[in-house]
Structure 1
């Protein structure tokens, strides 16, 4: 296969953000695949819009990491005076046409020829013309119409979904629920989250010192501790099973959100940690929890944490969300977090997966296997039949 040129755009975070968190989120992993793939020649990586003063300040501090060097590879940060997108649709559309101009000029300067574009921002997919690209693929990690943190932009996201569908732009989404909400008329594929085999190889690492001080058995939840976490359910579970230590590991943007949990003796809240320490923590616990509230946002997620729990060999107790079903027999599905106690008992009875089963899960759900579909979708013929389901090459 002749290598081709590509453009990748982040949504609301930057390449520097991805590096800082260890390149561990799905968009970060896609970019890693593009940078490593022999099927990709020239590559332009685009940050979202950033305000001119912040870009200048970061350059003076040399705060932004460079891309790994390679011929015909570049990172671009489009700039404007305001960092935030305008809320009104006409102004927002004009802004993303300017974003398109920046990308087109940089792609031309880099010598990219009819590149395939993959964007993680629905506004780029919908409102940047990208007429200079051979194909455009929108990768949807979340349903933006369900994300309360950007409620003021919901009308814009709704318009973007309509435009993506009407323009027959290809959509790769982490769940069927997101596909259904966008209702794309162009090629589409469901690509759930996955794991990086190298993270989970080898013997169990030593447990972090902070974890060693927490008595077992230990049930761990990993992720940002925000409105998705069912704090009332966690409190109920902790009271019903006082002999089980519940570990909540992750950043808490609003400390007040978990205030009711801090006085419960068997609930332990620890800030986010680096990648290696996170892996070590998971591999030294006894079971894991997906303790979300049931909302339109969580119903559309492909829960990355569940794949990582299973890669660590942990039994999983999860609330009943559509994307949970069929991942692995090691997932026990409870009606709600508050009703998890008997499922926790069963998970402890089952214990950790044996090593051969754990390794088989990791191999079966590797990012490499997931990204084969994305590469095939990017490299598809420029025109497919209207509404055609995309079938990756075998």
Structure 2
């Protein structure tokens, strides 16, 4: 049975993203996953989350007895230069962002990725379009959702959610690629709504909005998120339209949809074909659309939830494992 190793990239308990979701699903299918957790661990240890999913906290995965083939799973481009440290049988690069703007420092590592990765997965069409002509094993696998986690009803209303007004919510990184100028205008035009922001800071040191109807609630655990989402009247994806966000396939879209929430977003390329989504880039039109969503009856909830269910992480993982097994078998036969 293969062993998957993920070098230290994202703390397991930070914002629960694509790597944690996919590797968690892979472990649920019976493969051993050794996740080298990122953080300061005074007492190095192996924290087992299940019989097949182990967090290596302050200790190398190579010190944990495991079976081969050894599969190295990379999402940080610079880790391509550390392949020799792991002596893997298969190298996977999971490409999740464009190497532009905030991630421009990634670009110099792409030639080495193309040369040394055995298999490349891409989370968006534009990323796939870059790698496909340059590498023989490239596959488009968009982001997804743990449908059951978000579709289940809330346990109770979170205490830090404000009362008395409709809730317009955003969950995700508090980052430069959010269109804060658009949000400032929209929020000022809509004092009758409360705007809620949940997430961790990324390349920002303070929350950029100070309006009376704005509430920054900090980072919430993955376990808590559905309790908040089920009180959102509208979920926001208000990203700038840049070279970096051109390749953004927002996980929050699938999570909002699984919770049944109406979504208002800026017209990112990856959102243009999503059913029942609302897209605007002009602040005034964005504001008008927001009010319209709250005034009209919502008939699209079943379609949104069905779309989310069809894009569950289990489906994504199954597709990836099919390619991984094929490549692993091919490599074994060639030895």
Give yes or no for the alignment of 1:216 onto 2:165: yes
Larger radius of gyration: 1
Q: What's 2:35 paired with?
A: 45
- The 2-side partners of 1:210 and 1:280 are apart by 11
After superposition, the Cα gap between the structure-2 partners of 1:168 and 1:274, relative to the gap in structure 1 and judged at 3 Å, is closer
More helix by share: 1
- The 1-side partners of 2:329 and 2:107 are apart by 25
Superimposed CA distance per residue, residues 88-134 of structure 1 (whole angstroms, 9 cap, x where no aligned partner): xxxxxxxxxxxxxx76xx28x72522333322232333552489533
Q: TM-score, normalised by structure 1?
A: 0.73
* Pairing partner for 2:20 from 28, 38, 44: 28
Q: What's 1:191 paired with?
A: 141
After superposition, the Cα gap between the structure-2 partners of 1:319 and 1:201, relative to the gap in structure 1 and judged at 3 Å, is closer
Q: Does structure 1 retain, via aligned residues, the 8 Å contact 2:260–2:302?
A: no
| Unaligned stretches of 5+ residues in structure 2 | 331-335
Q: What's 1:294 paired with?
A: 241
- The 2-side partners of 1:236 and 1:323 are apart by 25
Runs of 4+ in 1 over 6 A off after TM superposition: none
* Greater alpha carbon shift after TM alignment, 348-357 vs 312-321: 348-357
Q: What's 1:249 paired with?
A: 198
Q: Does structure 2 retain, via aligned residues, the 8 Å contact 1:291–1:319?
A: yes
Give yes or no for the alignment of 1:113 onto 2:63: no
Q: What's 1:146 paired with?
A: 100
SS at match of 1:371: helix
Q: TM-score, normalised by structure 2?
A: 0.84
* Pairing partner for 1:376 from 322, 325, 334: 322
Q: What's 1:323 paired with?
A: 270
After superposition, the Cα gap between the structure-2 partners of 1:306 and 1:350, relative to the gap in structure 1 and judged at 3 Å, is farther
Aligned residues: 328
Q: What's 2:333 paired with?
A: none
Q: Does structure 2 retain, via aligned residues, the 8 Å contact 1:315–1:350?
A: no
| Unaligned stretches of 5+ residues in structure 1 | 80-101, 385-394
Query: Which residues in structure 2 correspond to 1:1-394 (within 5 Å)?
Result: 4-10=1-7, 12-13=9-10, 17-18=11-12, 20-21=13-14, 24-38=16-30, 40=31, 42-47=32-37, 54-55=40-41, 58-59=42-43, 66-68=47-49, 70=51, 76=56, 106=62, 110-125=65-80, 128-129=83-84, 132-143=87-98, 145-146=99-100, 148=102, 154=105, 157-167=106-116, 169-183=118-132, 184-211=134-161, 213-252=162-201, 254=204, 256-258=206-208, 261-262=209-210, 264-327=211-274, 329-337=275-283, 339-352=285-298, 356-357=302-303, 359-381=305-327
Superimposed CA distance per residue, residues 184-228 of structure 1 (whole angstroms, 9 cap, x where no aligned partner): 4121112111111231244344321221x3332221111222212
Q: Does structure 2 retain, via aligned residues, the 8 Å contact 1:125–1:169?
A: no
- The 2-side partners of 1:69 and 1:202 are apart by 23
Q: Does structure 2 retain, via aligned residues, the 8 Å contact 1:141–1:174?
A: yes
SS at match of 2:2: strand
* Greater alpha carbon shift after TM alignment, 264-273 vs 127-136: 127-136
Q: Does structure 1 retain, via aligned residues, the 8 Å contact 2:239–2:266?
A: yes
Shift of 1:33: 1.5
Q: Does structure 1 retain, via aligned residues, the 8 Å contact 2:6–2:35?
A: yes
SS at match of 1:66: strand
After superposition, the Cα gap between the structure-2 partners of 1:207 and 1:358, relative to the gap in structure 1 and judged at 3 Å, is farther
- The 2-side partners of 1:176 and 1:287 are apart by 26
Shift of 1:355: 6.2
Shift of 1:76: 4.7
Superimposed CA distance per residue, residues 323-366 of structure 1 (whole angstroms, 9 cap, x where no aligned partner): 11223x22111124554112213322455566644542342121
Superimposed CA distance per residue, residues 34-88 of structure 1 (whole angstroms, 9 cap, x where no aligned partner): 22113x2x5443457x8xxx55xx21xx7x66023537x7655688xxxxxxxxx
